[in-house]
C-alpha cells in the first residue's frame, strides 16, 4: 500500500452523527490559527513548488487590497441584525450573480442567507472539497510512499534476479533528492547487484495528461503521474524518475543494467519484497500546501490520489465522483470536472460550501478532531498568510479569519471561518459570479471583517 499509516482504512469518510458542529471552546482554535501562521513560514523541498512563481501564477494568485481605514477598521461587536444589514449591503456592492451564507457554529443558527441556494462557480473554492476529502479519508498523519520492490529474496548474496521495481504512489512533492535517498536505502538494505534494468510501475494513477477545463483559457499544469517528479514539469516524469533512480543506484554502489522498463510490481503473495521507501509530507501538510497558496497542481494530484487509493482507479473523473459522494455524506452538493476549480462547471451553492465547512468542525472522535485541526490549518489567514496575506489588513478579520479564496475571470469566492474570543466560530461562504473581481474582493473583505465582529 502506498500509505505509511497502516490504519488508513479507518478513515473511510463515514461520519458519526453529531448533534451540532462546533468550534472547540478553547485556546486550541487560536492554536490552530497560530500553527497555520507558523506553517506559512516553513521552507524546504516540500514547499519549493508553492514558492515557485510558475506554481503560484494562475487565476487564484495572491491579490492585495487596501489596508482598512475608517469604518472598515472598526472592531466593536455587532449584533445579528447589524450583521444581516451589513452583509446585504456587501452583496449589493459586489453585484453580479452572488450568494452568501453565514452560520454560528456554536448554536447552528443561520445568521444570513442571501442567494445561498444558487449553484455558483466555485473557482478555487473547489479545493475545499478535495482537501477536506483527502484529510478525512487518508487521515491527516498519513503519507504517500514511493517504494522500491524486489521480485525475489536477495539477503543471501545481495543479488536481485527477478527484477527491481520502482513503484509510484502519487507523491506530488517527489524530488530527485528523494530518489537519491531511496537509492541509498536500497543499498543499505543489502542489494548489491540487479540482474537486468530497473523496472518502474506508475499504475497507481492513470496516464492521462491534463484535466478538463471548460469555459476558461486552459491553465498549464504539471503531468499528473504516479511518479511525477519535481512538480510534474517533465512530459514523461515516470521515465525521468526511473532513470534518475537507476543512476543514483549505481552511484550508491548497486550494479544494475542500463535502461528502464515499465512493468507491474509483484505483490507479496507472488514473492515480491518491499526493499525501501521514501515518504511524502503528511496529508495535512499537502492540504496546507494546496489551500494556503492555492496550488492547482497539488489539488489535482490529491484528487487522483484519492481515486487511486479509495476508488481503485486513479483518474480525475473517479476522483470527482468520490469527492461528490464525500460532500453528499456531509449534506453538501458538489458538481464539477476537476479538483482545482479551473472550470466553469465546478459549482456549489454557498449553503453547500457552508455545510462542508460545518461538517469539518465535528469533533466527536479523536480522528474528527485531528481532521478538524488539519483542515483549519490548511487555510490562509487574513492579513497573514497565503492568498490572504495582503487582504483584510487592519480590519477585525486580521489574524481571526481563516479562509479559501477563489478567482476566475468574472468570478471571486471567499469561504471559511472567523473565530471569536469565546472559542466559537462563525462559518461563511461568499460566492460572486459575473462580477468585477476587484470590487467583489473589496466587498468580501468588508463582509469578512463584519463577520469577525459578530457576537451573539
Mean predicted lDDT score pLDDT of the chain: 87
Phi/psi for 419 (5° steps) reads: -105, 135
How far is Cα 246 from Cα 179, in angstroms, rounded to an integer? 9
**Architecture of domain 18-141+283-453 in this structure:** 3-Layer(aba) Sandwich (3.40)
- pLDDT on residue 34: 53
pLDDT of res. 69: 72
For residue 6, is pLDDT > 70? no
Per-residue model confidence (pLDDT) at position 219:
85
pLDDT-derived band at 371, boundaries 50, 70, 90: very high
Q: Among residues of the chain, what percentage have pLDDT more than 70? A: 86
pTM here? 0.88
Q: What pLDDT, in 10s, does the model give residues 270-324?
A: 668 999 999 999 999 999 999 999 999 999 999 999 999 999 999 999 999 999 9
Measured CA distances, 230 to 130, 173, 297, 437 (Å): 22, 7, 12, 33
Main-chain dihedrals φ then ψ at residue 205, nearest 5 degrees: -120, 155
One of 3.30.70.2860, 3.50.80.20, 3.40.50.150, 3.20.20.80 is the CATH number of 145-279, namely 3.50.80.20
**Size of the chain in residues:** 456
- Residues 311 and 304: their CA atoms lie apart, in Å, by 10
Predicted pLDDT of residue 36 = 52
Segment 423-451 shows an average pLDDT of 96
Residues 112-161 pLDDT 10s: 999 999 999 999 999 999 999 999 999 999 999 999 999 888 777 899 99
Cell output for 78: 455587532
The predicted structure's pLDDT at residue 35: 57
At residue 305, the pLDDT reads 98
Residue 60 vs residue 8, higher pLDDT? 60
Q: pLDDT band for 51, please (50, 70, 90 cuts).
A: very low
In the chain, where are the structural domains located? 18-141+283-453, 145-279
Helix/strand number for the chain, H first, E second = 13, 14
Q: What is the pLDDT of residue 48?
A: 42
Instruction: Assess whether the region 18-141+283-453 and the region 145-279 belong to the same CATH fold.
Output: no
Amino acid at each position: 500500500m502506498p500509505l505509511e499509516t497502516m490504519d488508513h482504512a479507518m478513515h473511510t469518510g463515514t461520519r458519526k452523527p453529531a448533534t451540532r458542529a462546533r468550534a472547540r471552546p478553547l485556546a486550541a482554535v487560536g492554536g490552530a490559527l497560530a500553527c497555520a501562521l507558523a506553517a506559512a513560514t516553513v521552507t524546504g523541498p516540500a514547499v519549493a513548488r508553492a514558492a515557485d512563481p510558475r506554481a503560484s501564477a494562475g487565476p487564484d494568485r495572491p491579490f492585495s487590497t487596501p489596508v482598512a481605514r475608517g469604518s472598515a477598521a472598526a472592531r466593536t461587536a455587532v449584533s445579528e441584525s447589524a450583521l444581516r444589514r451589513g452583509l446585504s449591503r456587501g452583496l449589493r456592492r459586489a453585484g453580479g450573480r452572488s450568494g452568501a451564507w453565514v452560520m454560528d457554529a456554536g448554536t447552528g443558527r443561520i445568521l444570513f442567507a442571501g442567494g445561498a441556494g444558487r449553484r455558483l462557480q466555485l473557482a478555487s473554492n473547489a479545493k475545499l472539497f478535495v482537501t477536506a476529502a483527502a484529510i478525512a479519508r487518508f487521515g491527516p498523519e498519513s503519507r504517500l510512499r514511493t517504494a522500491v520492490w524486489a521480485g525475489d529474496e536477495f539477503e543471501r548474496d545481495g543479488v536481485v534476479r527477478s527484477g527491481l521495481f520502482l513503484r509510484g504512489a502519487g507523491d506530488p512533492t517527489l524530488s530527485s533528492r528523494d530518489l537519491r535517498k531511496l537509492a541509498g536505502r536500497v543499498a543499505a538494505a543489502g542489494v548489491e547487484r540487479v540482474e537486468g534494468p530497473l523496472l518502474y510501475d506508475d499504475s497507481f494513477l492513470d496516464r492521462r495528461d491534463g484535466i478538463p477545463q471548460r469555459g476558461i483559457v486552459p491553465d498549464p499544469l504539471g503531468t499528473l503521474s504516479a511518479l511525477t517528479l519535481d512538480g510534474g514539469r517533465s512530459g514523461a516524469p515516470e521515465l525521468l524518475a526511473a532513470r534518475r533512480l537507476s543512476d543514483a543506484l549505481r552511484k550508491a554502489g548497486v550494479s544494475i543494467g542500463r535502461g528502464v522498463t515499465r512493468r507491474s510490481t509483484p505483490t507479496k503473495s507472488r514473492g515480491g519484497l518491499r526493499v525501501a521507501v521514501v515518504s511524502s509530507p503528511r496529508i495535512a501538510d499537502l492540504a496546507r500546501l494546496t489551500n494556503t497558496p492555492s496550488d492547482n497542481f497539488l489539488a489535482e494530484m490529491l484528487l487522483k490520489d484519492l481515486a487511486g487509493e479509495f476508488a481503485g482507479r486513479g483518474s480525475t473523473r473517479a476522483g470527482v465522483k468520490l469527492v461528490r459522494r464525500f460532500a453528499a455524506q456531509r449534506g453538501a452538493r458538489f458538481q464539477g470536472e476537476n479538483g482545482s476549480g479551473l472550470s466553469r462547471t465546478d459549482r456549489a451553492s454557498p449553503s453547500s460550501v457552508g455545510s462542508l465547512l460545518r461538517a469539518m468542525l465535528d469533533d466527536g472522535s479523536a480522528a474528527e478532531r485531528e481532521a478538524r485541526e488539519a483542515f483549519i490549518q490548511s487555510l490562509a489567514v487574513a492579513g497573514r498568510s497565503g492568498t490572504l496575506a495582503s487582504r483584510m489588513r487592519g480590519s477585525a478579520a486580521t489574524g481571526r479569519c481563516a479562509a479559501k479564496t477563489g478567482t476566475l475571470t468574472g468570478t471571486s469566492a471567499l469561504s471559511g471561518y472567523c473565530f471569536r474570543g469565546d472559542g466559537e466560530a462563525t462559518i461563511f461562504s461568499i460566492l460572486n459570479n459575473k462580477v468585477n473581481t476587484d470590487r467583489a474582493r473589496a466587498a468580501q473583505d468588508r463582509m469578512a471583517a463584519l463577520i469577525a465582529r459578530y457576537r451573539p
